[in-house]
Amino acid sequence: MINIPLNRVEGDLELHLELDGDRIANSWSSGIMFRGFENILRGRAPRDGLVLTPRVCGICGTAHLLAAAKALDMLCGVIVPDNAVMTRNLTLLAEHIQSDIRHGILMFMNDFINPLYQDQPFYSEARLRYEPFRGTSVIKAIRETKKILEIIAIVGGQWPNTSFMVPGGIATTPTFNDMVGCDYIERSFTGWYEREILGCSLERWAEVTSLADLDTWLEEKPDHTQGDLGFFIRCARMTGLDRIGGGHGNFISTGLKDLQPYSTRAVEPLLMSSGFIAKGEKFEFDQALIAEHVAFSRFEGYGSGLHPFEGITIPAFDPNPDKYSWAKAPRYNDHPAETGPLAEALIDGDPLFADLVRQQGPTAFSRELARFTRPAKLLPLMKKIIRTIDPKAPYYRPVGDIPDGRAYGLIEACRGTLGHWLEVQDGAIARYQIITPTAWNGSPRDANAIRGPWEEAIIGTSVKDPDNPVELGHIIRSFDACLVCAVHFCTRK
């Protein structure tokens, strides 16, 4: 048995492993920090979630804000103006893109400068590119992601942690000139992304629809091998990332079909569909089938899974060795499911990723490839939104007092499916449950003792040096782990 703390994930994670020789025979993923939000929101005013929930996570606060606002919209039964829907989504997409790039370049790629790879042909170049705070790609990624975030500041005040979305729309009123700024930033970012990350145009990349296409693309031009994407593909293949990190093969995504839920002026019908995939078969998404288990989580037990509307979160103080994580175990129709850019692409029927998974199964490589290339899909959509927003039309529809009742907001955050479930009683929050993407991916075992997605994904992996388990780093980071947000807001009962 060995214990391994993992850095370069947001928050604190330790893996407990049982090794058979150098292969992982069994694994336990342990969220080792509990921030105990259960008392924060209970009893507060319904709109307070708009200020407090973005503080769950410093990287995806805009996603939390959107989920919180959508839950309140539902409670009010308000039709949000098109302008507000578009502006909210514009900021969500900007946040996705910043996160995809920062994760890829600042947190994922520097595993390739691990001392274990010293003799690999890519090592010295990887070091030049990805050394923290010094690497050439690092410096550029910091500069460019900072720019794309300016869009959120222009229309929403600041990033991280603004609260500009409110039930009924948004509190801000972006002007024509604001859109000019957004337009410019999107164009210049796209130029950089094409030049430095893809090494080709968005259009050329869109033609890559199979594993064979990917190989052709890679060999086509030096630009393709030299971009960060090409470099990633080469390193990943040399280190066998396309052979590790499988998992259950279950995927969940709420899609991006909410992009224009109430629209009268079509931006684009819909970008990505929602659903659940088990063993290659796709099912309609139904939030009623979500439940959270605590059999192996450090919370007081209840029989089996509870839907978040019924969720309770009481930390268990007695040291029960079976309970090994401060994260709960969300399940969809009793199945664990992974979520994130790969799940999104598969559920949306993206041909490249469907082919990759058909031929290789889900891997650390396919997950990170999906993340690196997601901006190629999102940037054109951002442009459309920016040019469709009409600064003279309303951004907000007054809603007055928030009525009592239950509602939820479900969206795709940068790391995958995010849900807020809210109950308001007598004008105050009675219950607030959040299920984050990392709660899905990094969950411990459930009441049926079934492992969570990344616990499963590392089974069978060979770890050459337990003091330097770089293989595990690749796999866990391919899920873009964010432990700070695998926490719970709820009522203590």
Partner 1 sequence: MAVNLYWMHCGGCGGDSMSMLNAESPNIIETIHELDINVLWHPSFSFAPPADHRRLLDALISREVGLDILCIEGAVIRGPENTGMFGIFEGKPKKNLVAQLADRAGIVIAIGTCASFGGVTGAGATDAVGLQFSKKDIGGFLGKNFRSGKGLPVINLPGCPVHPTVLMGMLTAAARGVSMDLNTYNAPLEYYSMLVHQGCTRNEYHEYRIEETDFGQKGCLFFHLGCQGPLAHAPCNKFLWNNRNCKTRSGVPCNGCTEPDFPRDDPYFYTPNIVGLPIHLPDGVNRPHYLAYKSMAAAAAPDRLKHRKTEV
Q: What angle (nearest 5°) sits at the alpha carbon of residue 270, between those of residues 152 and 203?
A: 80
- Using the contact rule CB under 8 A, the part of the chain among 11-19, 327-335, 339-347, 348-356 near partner 1 is 11-19
Alpha-carbon gap, residue 234 to 231, rounded angstroms: 5
Alpha-carbon gap, residue 399 to 69, rounded angstroms: 12
Check residue 35 for interaction with partner 1 (CB under 8 A): yes
Q: What are phi and psi of 104, to 5 degrees?
A: -60, -55
Q: Which secondary-structure segment (H or E) carries 52? A: helix 49-52
Binding mask 359-398 for partner 1 (x = CB under 8 A): -----------------------------------xxx-x
* 143 CB-near residues (< 8 Å, 6+ apart): none
Residue with smaller CB distance to partner 1, 435 or 447: 435
Asked whether 393 and 82 are in contact (CB, 8 A), the reply is yes
Contact residue for partner 1 among 33, 214, 430, 459 (CB under 8 A):
33
Site for partner 1 in 54-73 (CB under 8 A): 55-59, 61
Site for partner 1 in 163-192 (CB under 8 A): 163-164, 166, 168-173, 175, 181
- Tokens standing for residue 319: 């040291």
Q: What angle (nearest 5°) sits at the alpha carbon of residue 341, between those of residues 340 and 344?
A: 90
Check residue 464 for interaction with partner 1 (CB under 8 A): no
Contact residue for partner 1 among 17, 24, 27, 52 (CB under 8 A):
52
Minimum separation from the CB atom of position 491 to partner 1 (A): 12
Minimum separation from the CB atom of position 341 to partner 1 (A): 19
Determine the size of the site formed for partner 1 (CB under 8 A): 88
What's the Cα-to-Cα distance from 429 to each of 38, 64, 170, 408, 421, rounded to whole Å?
Answer: 11, 17, 21, 13, 11
Site for partner 1 in 134-153 (CB under 8 A): 134, 139, 142-143, 145-146, 149-150, 152-153
Site for partner 1 in 71-130 (CB under 8 A): 102, 106-107, 110-111, 113-115
What's the Cα-to-Cα distance from 146 to each of 132, 293, 319, rounded to whole Å?
Answer: 17, 38, 44
Minimum separation from the CB atom of position 216 to partner 1 (A): 32
- Using the contact rule CB under 8 A, the part of the chain among 50-58, 189-197, 257-265, 343-351 near partner 1 is 50-58
Site for partner 1 in 281-340 (CB under 8 A): 315, 317, 326
Alpha-carbon gap, residue 281 to 296, rounded angstroms: 29
Check residue 17 for interaction with partner 1 (CB under 8 A): no
Alpha-carbon gap, residue 100 to 110, rounded angstroms: 15
Contact residue for partner 1 among 275, 308, 437, 469 (CB under 8 A):
469
Contact residue for partner 1 among 18, 124, 128, 157 (CB under 8 A):
157
